[in-house]
Structure 1
């Protein structure tokens, strides 16, 4: 089955999660305002739409701040009341979805997150791309330009994920004659724009073309937070934690396409037989099917097996997502009656592989959606792991695994346990 359409259509996603700020097209004749704050910046906002938004009760769960100690127990399960109060005082969060209909032919300026085959070079893995989407979206908000996503590498994004809250259909030919610029800001080549992101220089002078294509795999939240007026420009960026920013962004933007939804249902029908599921994501590196894949530090698997051994096997299905078939095979052999799997062969979506990229992309998406629904989840030093912890549907049952240390953790403390450049806060 061909899960990825092989054509030259550009997959674009229109995003509108700007809250407390406005999102206006720089057009001398028309303004399209997307944000709703304490004061309305555009008297032409549709009042019916405002009423609809206010009726939606998409309030995020009470934010929890866990103190984590060495050992195996969480020392603090107190809700951070100050943060919760700040959040609830904000009447329009980014996940208050605005189902806006835009006349795309009237748009002149636009910012586009690019991960397309039209241009050479890397995009990064799944977590890298989510970081790039977030940072590029914030650039769009700051420059008051609509935000689009051009994503067809290795597959067209909307074949797997479709807009969760509004129609984003787009015809790429509309921008063919526009003044365009392509900014390749992958990895450390993005350092050159930090002064524009922090407000030291005018960001509009850097992203000044009609259409600005941006390829980026970095989370620049800390740079954006240094802007002098960021609290009024994008209030949620200063209030929400990293975990909640990613969770709200992903849930507002994406939902499974009919193809992916059917694959998820088929996997559940085929494999699941128990009420709960315990999962682990084990990033090993050095996979022979993924050229140039770097080896990670060894993880003694007996640590994982010891934890799985403690679970009630009549209550839990078990699942391992990994870049290593050896790890998965070892799990299947040890827990033959409980271990489930996703279809397809392991690949990295941004690296050449002997495996069909269509099959690999689907497997990656099935792994991701399985992990974010797990009752128990063990994560390792990996951007993919951290992203699943952020987006996961519960704050409970999360464990962080480093070397011989497997400990309970919180989605709000993951970055402290796995410091580094994954999803890149503070770097």
Structure 2
């Protein structure tokens, strides 16, 4: 050790060595200083380029729907490739699903191969059918507080107005009056357009995206419009009501600059920046015409912006479910074809009875949300209403197998008509256009029917959650806590608390178990 210190001391006595050390030290110091100064700007330049999902076209001429820059098309194509296995599996079993949808009411046993997985899903399904036919009921737990003498169990109901289908028009008018108090910028020469091309999500994702873009149009003081023709034109089912959101004609857009913002694939980055830096949303929209893809509920994020209290004060006066309901009713009225389908369902199949419903989202073969054993819990819950003379039972689901189980379980089972198709898995063009529109129509009919159910049980899906939000009361509204129990909830809670915590798959439910149990 002493020898080492001796050599170090000798080095420092040498003038050349000391000079070299000073030079190296100065160089390291300058590098560090430059890094501290330069790296933040380098980081934000890279972040800015990352957010350049936007392409501005100067003096572009509109061709059909607005042309998307080839880089944006590549981004969309990449996102579509992520779902190719699901789409292939879905297309392979389309004919089976369509045939089963016709035979379900007659009690036929569907054998939808789309739900066949390596863990023996079909074996479980067949075993359940045998148990049901033999009168063996699945075990079920209830969250119970108030005794129901008719069946000897305890049932809790929210203290809210009783659902009455005859009151729908009155409550719709109240929502329309509220919508008319919202700011209106439809005279603006700048546009913010909800844009659906390629992958847009299912019906619930699209409704959430439309609501989010509409709110953004109020905060950015732009004219709002909708462009959605995948898998077919939205106007076939939902038409403008109090606000004309029709896609503008070519003459209105000729010569305007165009920008595309993808909040569908990059919503996390935009959410973080909005919450961290509190920008004026107007600064995000550079072009005269902005096309925005979205599928998220940004109500809580918009409430944190400093410009929101002045530009959209109603954002703080109503909960997110009420805002969704008001915007949905203000923007949309059913087409004549949709109205006819819904009215015929209630007239021919429900009549003067009440309706108890379940939305059972089972998932795809590659992403199974529930097993058949698990979904038996909410199915068994509805038996209490099937045993009464004043109720019909309706199940909205993404698989024929669940409808077949329901047809075996309930004596008062009713069903809508049409093929069961997920509207986001019909993009590759191999399916007939009329079949795509028929699948889209059934999805919208099921959604409207769920809005009008006297009793509604939700599973982990935005489809049922958005329908519950549009419903005008919390009375008769329940959630299925995965693998545990059916319990009541409220419209005010279902979107912000339950959907991605208590209704989520088991790996998330474990993480949020304390929230769900409280």
Q: Which of the numbers 449, 454, 458 marks the counterpart of 1:375?
A: 454
Measured after TM superposition, the shift of residue 320 of structure 1 is 0.2
Question: Contact 2:469 / 2:491 at 8 angstroms: preserved in 1?
Answer: yes
Aligned length: 333
Unaligned runs of 5+ in 2: 1-62, 67-141, 146-155, 162-175, 505-518
Q: What does 1:4-83 correspond to in 2, within 5 Å?
A: 71-73=143-145, 77=159
The aligned residue for residue 360 of structure 1 is: 439
Measured after TM superposition, the shift of residue 376 of structure 1 is 0.5
The aligned residue for residue 61 of structure 1 is: none
C-alpha separation between the residues in 1 aligned to 2:183 and 2:217?
18
Measured after TM superposition, the shift of residue 235 of structure 1 is 1.1
Q: Which of the numbers 169, 178, 184 marks the counterpart of 2:262?
A: 184
| CA 1:200–1:297: 2 relative to 1, 3 Å | same
1:268 aligned counterpart, secondary structure? helix
Is residue 235 from structure 1 mapped to residue 310 from structure 2 by the alignment?
A: no
Question: Contact 1:181 / 1:212 at 8 angstroms: preserved in 2?
Answer: yes
Q: Which of the numbers 358, 377, 387 marks the counterpart of 1:280?
A: 358
Question: Contact 2:262 / 2:292 at 8 angstroms: preserved in 1?
Answer: yes
Question: Contact 1:313 / 1:338 at 8 angstroms: preserved in 2?
Answer: no
| CA 1:193–1:417: 2 relative to 1, 3 Å | closer
Is residue 411 from structure 1 mapped to residue 491 from structure 2 by the alignment?
A: yes
C-alpha separation between the residues in 2 aligned to 1:319 and 1:412?
24
C-alpha separation between the residues in 2 aligned to 1:279 and 1:76?
17
Q: Which of the numbers 423, 427, 436 marks the counterpart of 1:349?
A: 423
| CA 1:123–1:164: 2 relative to 1, 3 Å | same
| CA 1:302–1:140: 2 relative to 1, 3 Å | closer
Measured after TM superposition, the shift of residue 99 of structure 1 is 12
Measured after TM superposition, the shift of residue 10 of structure 1 is 6.4
| CA 1:99–1:161: 2 relative to 1, 3 Å | farther
| CA 1:224–1:150: 2 relative to 1, 3 Å | same
Measured after TM superposition, the shift of residue 164 of structure 1 is 2.2
The aligned residue for residue 397 of structure 1 is: 476
Is residue 211 from structure 1 mapped to residue 286 from structure 2 by the alignment?
A: no
Q: What does 1:85-234 correspond to in 2, within 5 Å?
A: 94-96=178-180, 108-116=189-197, 121-168=198-245, 171-173=248-250, 174-192=252-270, 194-196=272-274, 200-234=278-312
| CA 1:145–1:391: 2 relative to 1, 3 Å | same
Measured after TM superposition, the shift of residue 260 of structure 1 is 0.9
Q: Cα deviation per residue 1:324-349 (whole Å; 9 max; x = unaligned)? A: 211111101222x4111111111111
Question: Contact 1:99 / 1:166 at 8 angstroms: preserved in 2?
Answer: no
The aligned residue for residue 295 of structure 1 is: 368
Measured after TM superposition, the shift of residue 375 of structure 1 is 0.4
| CA 1:421–1:139: 2 relative to 1, 3 Å | farther
Question: Contact 2:158 / 2:488 at 8 angstroms: preserved in 1?
Answer: no
1:342 aligned counterpart, secondary structure? coil
| CA 1:114–1:305: 2 relative to 1, 3 Å | closer
Deviates more, 1:296-305 or 1:144-153: 296-305
Please say which structure displays the higher CA radius of gyration.
Answer: 2
Q: Cα deviation per residue 1:238-273 (whole Å; 9 max; x = unaligned)? A: 221111111111111111111111121222333224
1:412 aligned counterpart, secondary structure? helix
C-alpha separation between the residues in 2 aligned to 1:422 and 1:310?
22
Deviates more, 1:308-317 or 1:254-263: 308-317
Question: Contact 1:112 / 1:147 at 8 angstroms: preserved in 2?
Answer: yes
Question: Contact 1:198 / 1:227 at 8 angstroms: preserved in 2?
Answer: no
C-alpha separation between the residues in 1 aligned to 2:211 and 2:396?
25
Measured after TM superposition, the shift of residue 275 of structure 1 is 1.8
TM-score (norm 2): 0.58
Q: Cα deviation per residue 1:279-337 (whole Å; 9 max; x = unaligned)? A: 000011125xxxxx6211335344234322222442111100001211111101222x4
Measured after TM superposition, the shift of residue 188 of structure 1 is 3.7
Unaligned runs of 5+ in 1: 1-7, 12-69, 80-91, 288-292
Measured after TM superposition, the shift of residue 178 of structure 1 is 1.3
Question: Contact 1:344 / 1:363 at 8 angstroms: preserved in 2?
Answer: yes
The aligned residue for residue 329 of structure 2 is: 251
Structure (1/2) with the larger helix percentage = 2
The aligned residue for residue 338 of structure 1 is: 412
C-alpha separation between the residues in 2 aligned to 1:168 and 1:137?
10
